[in-house]
Structure 1
Amino acid sequence: MRNLSLWPIGNCQVSALIDDTGTFVWGCAPRIDGDPLFCGLLEPRSDGESALGEWRITLENQDKVEQRYLGNTPILSTRITDTDGGAIEILDFCPRFPRSGRMYRPVAFVRIVRPVSGAPRMRVRLNPAKNWGSEAAERTNGTNHIRYLLKPQPLRLTTDAPIGHVLEGRAFRVEKAHHFFLGPDEPFVGNVGHTLAAMLHQTSDEWRLWVRGLAIPLEWQKVVIRAAITLKLCQHEETGAIVAAMTTSIPEAASSGRNWDYRYCWIRDAYYTVQALNRLGALDVLENYLSYLRNIVDEAQGGHIQPLYTVNGDPKLEEWVAEGLAGYRGMGPVRVGNAAYTQIQHDAYGQIVLSNVQAFFDERLLRKATTDDFTALERVGARAFEMYDQPDAGLWEFRTRTSVHTYSSVMCWAACDRLAKAADAMGLDERASYWRERADEVRAVIEEKAWHAGEERFAATFGGDELDASLLQLIDMQFLGRDDPRFLATFAAVEKGLRRGEHMLRYAAEDDFGLPETAFNFCTFWLIEALHLVGREEEARALYLNMLERRTPAGLLSEDTDFTTGELWGNYPQTYSLVGLINCAGLLSRPWSAIR
C-alpha cells in the first residue's frame, strides 16, 4: 500500500520523490508544476505489471532496502540486499553546481548503481508516463540511449548499462558500476561514468557549502538542516517562485475529497518559507523570491493580488481532473490546477509587504530595496488599506462562503505598519507618517470589530465568535505582545476549542466538506510557539519532540496528521510543516553559550 515514506531529490528546477523500495514514483518535467513523467504515487489506471510512471531498480530475490541521505545533501543512498547477501547501492540525485558562470541545474535525473557484495542480479524498468498518466511515453533507442517522446520536450536516457536489458526489463548481474542520466534529448558528451561521478562530487560539494552558511540552533541541527534543504528544493530558482508542496491530490484525510494541487506559489506559504529561511541566514532564497514578487506586483499594477500563481508567474491555474490517475491509494480525484486562484484573500497584501521589508534594512543583500521598490509596495499597501475590512475566503480558502477574517485584516494592518517602518529607514518622513496613520486606523477597527466582548477574546471573523488557529499569529505579526491579556485570553480559548491532545486543528466548525478529520501540522507548531511564549516551556518541548516522531524516515512532514492514528496525510513535503520544524527548533533550543 502506498504511503508517504518518500525521499525528495531535486535541483531547484525539477524534483522527484523516491519511495521506500528505491522507486521513482513522482516527478514532473520540465518544471515542478508540469506533467508528471513519474506518477506511480497516484496510481495510473493502466497500472500493474507495466509499472507505468515509475523508474524501478530491483534485485532478483530482493530482501531488504535501507535508505539515507548523504550528509547535508538531497542525494539519496538506497542499499538493496537479496536473500543470498548480494547487495547494490543506488545514488540518486539531480545535478546542481556552478558551471560556466551560472548554476547548472538541468531537467535531469541521475542514478548511479554500485555493486556492494555478492553476485546481485538487477532489473531496471523505466516507463515514463505522459498526459497525466493516461499513456506511456513512446520510445526509440540507439546504441547507448533511449529516447522518451514526452511533451513539451523529450528526454533521453544515456547509460553504460546494456540497453537491451533496460528496454526489456531483463535481469542481469551487477559486476561493475552502472550509470543512468535521464536528461535533455541531446547527445551525451564524454564518458557517462566519469561525468556522472564528477557531477555527484560537484553536486555534493554545492549542497554542503550551502548548508555550511546556515545559522542553525544548537539542538536539533539535523532536523533543521533537512527541513532547510527541502525548503530550498521547493524553490523554482529560474523565477524565484516557491511552491507549497511537491505533489498534488494527496488527500487531507482518507477518501475525504480534500485533494488539492499544491505545486504552485502561494504568496502566503512563500512568506512563511522565506521568513523561516531568513532566520537561518539563507538569503539566496529570499533574494530570488523578491525578484519573483517584483514581477507579480508589476503585473498587478497596484490592483488585485491573487493568492497563488504558477512558478512562471502565470495568473491562470484552471482546475481540472486527471482521469488517467486513480489517486493516492485509489482515493481520487486527482486535481490539476487550483481554483483558489480566483478567490479573494486579502492577507496576500500583507505577506507581499512583509516579505519585502527586510530588503530595506539588510546590508548583506546584493540588491537592497530602492525608492522605486518602495513606491511599488505603496500600491500594494493602498490595496491593503482599501480591503482590510472587506469579506474574503480567508487563509483556509473556503470555497462557498466569505467573511471579514481577522487574520486577513491583521495582515493588511501589518502591510501599513511595515511600510511606515520602511519609510523611516529610507528617510521618507512624510510617507512614514502617512502609513503610520493608516496602520493606527486599521488597528482601531480590528480591536473593535474582531473583539468578542462576551468571552473577552478575539474571534476569527469580525462580529463572529469562531475560533481559528491563525489567531495565534497575532504575536508573530506584532499586533499584540506576548504579555497582552487579550492574547492570553485568546490563546486559552483557541487551545480549549481546537487542541486535540498533541495536535491542533485549523478550526473545528464544518466547512465545505464537513467536519475536519485531521490536524493541520503547521497549526500544531503554532501551538508549540504559543506555549513557549506564555512560559509553558516543558510542555512546548514535549510537544515538539512528539512532532519529530511523526516525521517520515526522510525527516519530513506532510500537511496533515490523523489525530487519532497519527498517520500522515496531505501533500508532501509541505513547506508549512517544514517551516514549523525550523521555527520551533530556533525558539526551544538551548543557546550556543550553553556549551562554552
Structure 2
Amino acid sequence: MAKAKKHLYPSGIVGNCSFIAHIGTDTNVSWMCWPRFDSSFIFGSLLDRQKGGTFSVLPDGKFTSRQYYVENTNILCTEIDCKDGKYRITDFAPRFYLFERYFKPLMLIRKIEPLSGNPRVKVSCKPVTEYGEEVLRAAPASNHIEYFGAASTIRLTTNFSINHILDEHHAVLNETKYLVLTYGTPLEAPLKSTVEDFYTRTKDYWQQWIKKTSIGNVYQDSVIRSALVLKIHQYEDTGAIIAASTTSLPEYPGSGRTWDYRYCWLRDAYYTLQAFNHIGHFEEMERYFNFIANISVKEEGRYQPLYSVTGEKYLKEIEIPLKGYLGNQPVRIGNQASEHIQNDVYGQVLISLLPLYTDERFVFEERTDSSSWISSVLKMIETVIDEEDAGLWEFRDISGYFCYTYLFQWAGCQAAIRIAQRIRDKKLERWAGRLSKKAADRIEACYDPERKVYQQAINSSYMDASTLQLIMMHYLDPASDKAKDHLKAVESVLSAPGGLFYRYKHEDDFGKPEATFLITAFWHVEALACVGRVEEARERFEQLLGYTNHLGLLSEDVEASTGSQWGNFPQAYSHVGLMNAAYRIAMKLDRPNFL
C-alpha cells in the first residue's frame, strides 16, 4: 500500500498589523482580506479557485520556484526559474515609523526583478468581494487600473503595460517592475523611488524590531520566525490578536471541522502575553492589555470566549457557497463559539491583566481605581463556578465541570489576590481567597487517586492535554511526585509518535479526532522541562520543528501518521506554543538570554 503523501501548506505570509496576505510558491496571492482581518477576501483562491480571484506573476510554460524571507523580516521572496530565464518577486506590506506613528497602509507591494535570461511573464489581477460573489470591475487609466465594486476603490499602480495586465498577455521582463495594490487611499507618488524607499524602511523596521527582541540562545531561528508571525497577527488599531488569518482550513480532510479563526480568543490571552513578555516586547503587550481592558470595563453580562478585532460580540456563524480547501466543506464565516459558555475566560482576563498592577514598566491609568471592575470579574466567577460549560475545546453539544476551567478560575483568583494587595483592598483579597479555595476543591474533584491523574472533568475518566497546565501554572509543584505521576498518566494516553500530542482521544460532536494539536505538543514540552525531564523536552521540541512548512510556519494540527499540516494556517497560537516552550527550555538550561 502506497504511503500517504505529506501535506504542507505551500505559501508564506506578509503583513503590517493592518492586513495579512498569503503568497503561494506559484506566485499567487491565495488569501487576503481587506479592509480588516475578518472582512471578505479580496483574493481567496485558497478556498475556491474559480470564485476566489487571482493575483499572480507567472512565466510562459513550466517553472520551478523557491521561497524565502529576507532575513529577520516579514518580507517574502519567491524566485521563479523557467525556460526563458529567472526572476524574483519580492512581496511586502509597508510598515515603518512616520510622523510619530506607524505607517501601515492597506497596500501590498510586489517588486519583480529579472535575475537571468529573458523571462516572459503574465500578470493576472482579478480581485473579488463578498466572498467571491462579486467580481470587481476593472477600469484602466494612464498608469493604473481601478477596480470598482468593493466598499472602497482598489487600485493597482504599476509600470507594467496596463493592457498586458487587462488582456493577460505575456511580456518580456527586461527591467524591474512594480505592482502596488491599494485599498482606499492610492499611491500617488513616483513609483520606483517610493517603492524602493518603502522597501528599505520596512526591511529596517523589521530587522530593528528583532534586534530589540530578547531571545534565548537555543532555537533562535525558530523563535525569531515565530515572533515575526505573531507580531503581524496583532490588529494594531485595537491591539487584538487573532488566532489565524484564515477560515475553514480543515483540521483533517473530510472531518467537517472547518472553523473561522479570524477573531481574538480571550482564552488564549495569557499564553500570548507570556510569549511577548518572554521576548521583551512591551508595546504589543500594552496594546493587547488595552483591548482586554476595554472589553472588561464595558462587559456587563458574561464574557464571550472570543470577540472580533474591534471587540464586537455578534459573530454569527454561517456557511457560504465555496468549494473549500481541497474540496473540504463547509466553508464558514463567523464562529458559533462566541455564543458558548466557557467559564475559564474570567480567570484568563484576571491573570492577563495582572502585569498592569505588578510590573512597574506598565503605566495603567485605571490601576488605582479598579476595585469595582475586579470585583465584577470575581462576581462572574462566583456566579458560574457551580455550572457546567463547554470547556476550552469548545464542544458544541457536550458540557461538563472541566478541570481546565477550574484551574483558570483558581489562577484568576490568585491574580486577584495580588491585585487586591497592590491596591490595598482587604475585602477584595479575602473574597478572592475564598473563591480560589472553592476552585481548588473542584480541581481536586477531578483527581483519580488510583490512576494518579487529574481527569478532564469531574465524574469523567477521559484524559485531556489541557490538564498539563496544572504543572505549568504551578497548581502542582513541578518537583512533586504528584506532578510527575500526572504527567506520565496523561502521556500514556495522549502522546503520539514524533513528539506530537492529542488534545483528547474520546469522541466529540464530530466524532473521534484524527489529528494531533500542535500547541498541546508544546505544552507537553513545557511540562517535561518543568518536572526536570529536560533532555526529553529538547528531543521532543526538535521533533516538532520538523512540522513546519518550507518557511518555518506552523499549522494548527498535524496528522501523526504522515506529519501533514492541517487546520488554519499559520496558527498564531502554535507559534506562541513554540516561543513559550523554547523559553522554558532555555530557563532550565540557565541560558535565558542570548550572550
Matches for 1:429-448 after TM superposition, within 5 Å: 429-447=426-444
2:24 paired with 1:19: yes
* Among 458, 462, 467, the residue aligned to 2:463: 467
Give the letter aligned to residue 482 of structure 1.
P
Matches for 1:319-330 after TM superposition, within 5 Å: 319-323=317-321, 325-330=322-327
Q: Structure 1 residues 594 and 233, CA, compared in 2 at 3 Å: closer, same or farther?
A: closer
2:404 paired with 1:424: no
Matches for 1:2-13 after TM superposition, within 5 Å: 3-13=8-18
Equivalents in 2 of 1:572, 1:375: separation in Å?
40
Aligned residues: 587
2:75 paired with 1:79: no
Instruction: Decide which moves more: 220-229 or 181-190.
Output: 181-190
Give the corresponding residue for 1:40: 45
Give the corresponding residue for 2:473: 477
Matches for 1:350-361 after TM superposition, within 5 Å: 350-361=347-358
Give the letter aligned to residue 524 of structure 2.
L
Does the residue aligned with 1:161 lie in a helix, a strand or coil? coil
Instruction: Decide which moves more: 427-436 or 558-567.
Output: 427-436
CA contact (8 A) 2:16 2:93 kept: yes
Q: Structure 1 residues 81 and 131, CA, compared in 2 at 3 Å: closer, same or farther?
A: same
Per the TM alignment, residue 290 of structure 1 is displaced from its structure 2 partner at its CA by 1.1
Instruction: Decide which moves more: 306-315 or 15-24.
Output: 15-24
Q: Structure 1 residues 369 and 231, CA, compared in 2 at 3 Å: closer, same or farther?
A: farther
Does the residue aligned with 2:139 lie in a helix, a strand or coil? strand
Instruction: Decide which moves more: 363-372 or 341-350.
Output: 363-372
Per the TM alignment, residue 454 of structure 1 is displaced from its structure 2 partner at its CA by 3.7
CA contact (8 A) 2:371 2:425 kept: no
CA contact (8 A) 1:87 1:120 kept: yes
Give a deviation string over 1:304-338, Cα, whole Å, max 9, x none.
00001111111001111110x20010111110000
Give a deviation string over 1:143-171, Cα, whole Å, max 9, x none.
11111224322211111111111111111
Give the letter aligned to residue 106 of structure 1.
P
Per the TM alignment, residue 361 of structure 1 is displaced from its structure 2 partner at its CA by 1.6
Equivalents in 1 of 2:163, 2:184: separation in Å?
19
TM-score, normalised relative to structure 1: 0.95
Equivalents in 1 of 2:255, 2:592: separation in Å?
48
Per the TM alignment, residue 207 of structure 1 is displaced from its structure 2 partner at its CA by 1.3
Per the TM alignment, residue 62 of structure 1 is displaced from its structure 2 partner at its CA by 4.2
2:550 paired with 1:545: no
Give the letter aligned to residue 518 of structure 1.
A
Instruction: Decide which moves more: 353-362 or 437-446.
Output: 437-446
Equivalents in 1 of 2:303, 2:220: separation in Å?
37
Per the TM alignment, residue 573 of structure 1 is displaced from its structure 2 partner at its CA by 0.8
* Among 401, 404, 427, the residue aligned to 1:404: 401
Give the corresponding residue for 1:497: 493
Give the letter aligned to residue 449 of structure 2.
A
Matches for 1:99-498 after TM superposition, within 5 Å: 99-301=98-300, 303-323=301-321, 325-367=322-364, 370-447=367-444, 449-498=445-494
Instruction: Decide which moves more: 249-258 or 177-186.
Output: 177-186
Per the TM alignment, residue 427 of structure 1 is displaced from its structure 2 partner at its CA by 3.4
Give the letter aligned to residue 305 of structure 1.
Y
Per the TM alignment, residue 125 of structure 1 is displaced from its structure 2 partner at its CA by 0.4
Per the TM alignment, residue 366 of structure 1 is displaced from its structure 2 partner at its CA by 4.3
Equivalents in 1 of 2:526, 2:590: separation in Å?
17
Per the TM alignment, residue 246 of structure 1 is displaced from its structure 2 partner at its CA by 1.0
CA contact (8 A) 2:215 2:592 kept: no
Give a deviation string over 1:423-453, Cα, whole Å, max 9, x none.
2233334432332232123223432x22223
Equivalents in 1 of 2:386, 2:497: separation in Å?
35
Give a deviation string over 1:101-148, Cα, whole Å, max 9, x none.
221111111111112122111110011121112342222121111112
Does the residue aligned with 2:230 lie in a helix, a strand or coil? helix
Does the residue aligned with 2:65 lie in a helix, a strand or coil? strand
Per the TM alignment, residue 72 of structure 1 is displaced from its structure 2 partner at its CA by 1.1
Does the residue aligned with 2:472 lie in a helix, a strand or coil? coil
2:520 paired with 1:520: no
Instruction: Decide which moves more: 499-508 or 250-259.
Output: 499-508
Superposed CA RMSD in Å reads 1.8
Per the TM alignment, residue 496 of structure 1 is displaced from its structure 2 partner at its CA by 0.7
CA contact (8 A) 2:223 2:578 kept: yes
Q: Structure 1 residues 568 and 196, CA, compared in 2 at 3 Å: closer, same or farther?
A: same
Q: Structure 1 residues 210 and 367, CA, compared in 2 at 3 Å: closer, same or farther?
A: farther
CA contact (8 A) 1:12 1:233 kept: yes
Q: Structure 1 residues 547 and 356, CA, compared in 2 at 3 Å: closer, same or farther?
A: same
CA contact (8 A) 1:249 1:335 kept: yes
2:553 paired with 1:556: yes
Equivalents in 1 of 2:375, 2:93: separation in Å?
40
Does the residue aligned with 1:132 lie in a helix, a strand or coil? helix
Equivalents in 1 of 2:363, 2:145: separation in Å?
43
Equivalents in 1 of 2:463, 2:185: separation in Å?
57
Give the letter aligned to residue 25 of structure 1.
S
Q: Which runs of 5+ in 1 are unaligned?
A: none
Q: Structure 1 residues 187 and 243, CA, compared in 2 at 3 Å: closer, same or farther?
A: closer
TM-score, normalised relative to structure 2: 0.95
Q: Structure 1 residues 594 and 310, CA, compared in 2 at 3 Å: closer, same or farther?
A: closer
Q: Structure 1 residues 373 and 75, CA, compared in 2 at 3 Å: closer, same or farther?
A: farther
CA contact (8 A) 1:451 1:463 kept: no
Per the TM alignment, residue 54 of structure 1 is displaced from its structure 2 partner at its CA by 1.9
CA contact (8 A) 2:23 2:29 kept: yes
Does the residue aligned with 1:42 lie in a helix, a strand or coil? coil
Q: Structure 1 residues 424 and 372, CA, compared in 2 at 3 Å: closer, same or farther?
A: same
Give a deviation string over 1:494-519, Cα, whole Å, max 9, x none.
11111122321100100011111010
Give the letter aligned to residue 566 of structure 2.
W
Equivalents in 2 of 1:530, 1:408: separation in Å?
19
CA contact (8 A) 2:80 2:86 kept: yes
Per the TM alignment, residue 387 of structure 1 is displaced from its structure 2 partner at its CA by 1.4
Q: Which runs of 5+ in 2 are unaligned?
A: none
Equivalents in 1 of 2:402, 2:83: separation in Å?
59
CA contact (8 A) 2:59 2:119 kept: yes
Per the TM alignment, residue 276 of structure 1 is displaced from its structure 2 partner at its CA by 1.1
CA contact (8 A) 2:44 2:132 kept: yes
